[in-house]
A and B are shown apart, each in its own frame.
Chain A
Amino acid sequence: MKILVCISHVPDTTSKINFTDGDTKFDTNGVQFVINPNDEFGLTRAMWFKEKQSAHVTVVNVGGPETEPTLRKALAIGADAAIRVNTPATDGFSVAKQLAQVVTDGNYDLVIAGRESIDYNGGMVPGMIAGLTNANFVNNCINLEIEGTSVTAVREIDGGKETVSTTLPLVIGGQKGIVEESDLRIPNMRGIMMARQKPLTVTEPVAANAETNSVKFEKPAPKGAVKLVSPDNLDELINLLHNEAKVI
């Protein structure tokens, strides 16, 4: 089985979000970048398929050279090869078109992407790859088992979960649950050394128009001070929630 894991290179979850150039660009100053958490869960599941079912695992990112340390980290965790499509990731649709091309060129059986990226929060790239390559698609995937070309997957739905059966080729939008938090791996020294020897191929993008354009960013208005209610006066809290906030 050939697996492609899509890796989004995102600001660490503790990052302060700021913008530059008249609020049109994300300010990367002092920001630490990491593998998108949903992709890290998916990558860890891919490692399981590699170890238990001899799958071959390639990681891919659409982005500039600055994303290579993130791809190297994925190699250190255990992926066999990495691909970087050399173009800035502007909108979800054009990123999906680049990734669909990689999928077609490499004949992958399984594409693991994240349910959403924590920076753009598009929630669209995996579904678009599936649509563009005519593969089956399971979103919000929290369990994945594969035997030959038969797939059993569990997807989270609003208020519960659903077990589905399907076949390869398949794209999933993964999240926590596909592996547990405690299964995540921190690269060790040997992994980091080996990652240096593994191939990181840079490919040039296919032509794709941006279907959407980011015009401007804005930060939420600062919050007013909290109204404190004494624990001895909870009637006041109910009063405020009922009459002032009008939420109960």
Chain B
Amino acid sequence: MSVLVYTESEQGKLKKTAFEVASYAKAVAEQLGTTVTAITINADDTSPLSNYGVDKVLTVTSSELSTFNAKGFAEVLHQAAEKEESKVVVLSSSANSKYLAPLLAVYLNAGYASNVIAAPSSTSPFTVKRSAFTNKAFEEISINTDVKIIGVSNNAFGLIENSGAASEETFSPSITDLGIKVESVDKASDKVSIADAEIVVSGGRGLKGPENWGMIEELAEVLGAATACSKPVSDLGWRPHAEHVGQTGKPVASNLYIAIGISGAIQHLAGINASKVKVVINTDPEAPFFKAADYGVVGDAFQVVPELIEKLKSFKAQQ
């Protein structure tokens, strides 16, 4: 009956989202009067999970699963859910979790709610709130199946500490045909990804050309942020597609989003609205972004950004 939570790791280290989904699973377990079982795949140290309400950790070590495989990982979670007789399975909104979730839903014949932003408002019927229409609305949905899968939106629930002692158990599921083979991975290990970033610094067409991105990258570096851009900027080839955020690009749910030289078109705003605090820097006081932002500077990015970098450097030095 335990709530099962998939706590992701990268190169053996648990990700921050692992603690957020564990916190969520704990909240659900309290509502249902049951315990939390976390499952990890090739994670080295699982002890921090006991700080977030996890009662038991199933550890899977498998060389076959050394690179992510949606089918293989979904099969592991499927067998873990059956072993624990879990009625609720909690996942994050990482690209990998979103990849495996629909397969797991089929294997468990479970209703799946993605982009969930709050603990269940009721457990019978099991009802959760999720974002829909690319953040232009919220939807309350009830899940009717015996087993339920919840995909928690990044940064929506937060971390809730709940110290305890988690027991650890080795779990050896049987893995068959994986179907897909990873040939190569191309990933900048020194950069924060948009999905994992707490702060995102984003540039638009107002920056005039790719040669001006140095200051965007420097600002991002000072803040430990990821860099992003508006759609025309990636369509023009100034920045890679992977940086395009918005309704048709990547969603952003960071704590802080800084938009520089971005007008704030509806399609852009839709994709970044889930960010908690928005700052806009734009020469045009009429730019629509000012209506969606928390803080704004009406000014020229070419003056404001370099000055902001200097001031942040001295601020950080004092911290």
Contacts and interface: CB of A to CB of B under 8 A. Distances in A.
Which size bracket describes the interface of A in this complex? 35 or more
Interface stretch (A75-83, A192-200, A230-238): A230-238
Contacts of B94: 158
A118 interface: yes
Contacts of A109: none
Interface string B266-285: 11001001001101100000
Given A139-B98, A165-B183, A37 B294 contact: no
Contacts of B134: 118, 121
Nearest to A115: B98
A85 interface: no
B111 interface: yes
Given A120-B132, A227-B295, A235-B311, A166 B181 contact: yes
Given A140-B99, A220-B273, A93 B112 contact: yes
Contacts of A21: none
Which size bracket describes the interface of B in this complex? 35 or more
B115 A241 contact: no
A131 B266 CA distance: 35
Contacts of A209: 144
B184 interface: yes
Interface stretch (A42-50, A51-59, A66-74, A176-184): A176-184
Interface string A157-186: 111111111110000000011001110000
A245 B279 CA distance: 11
19 contacts: A92-B102, A127-B103, A131-B107, A137-B70, A157-B96, A158-B196, A165-B180, A181-B231, A211-B112, A218-B138, A218-B140, A226-B290, A226-B293, A228-B295, A228-B298, A230-B297, A234-B304, A245-B277, A248-B199
Interface of A: 11, 13-14, 17, 19, 37-38, 91-93, 96, 118-128, 130-132, 136-140, 142, 152, 156-167, 176-177, 180-182, 209-220, 223-224, 226-231, 234-235, 237-238, 240-242, 245, 247-248
9 tightest A-B contacts by CB? Answer: A127-B102, A159-B193, A131-B106, A160-B187, A231-B299, A211-B111, A158-B195, A247-B256, A124-B102
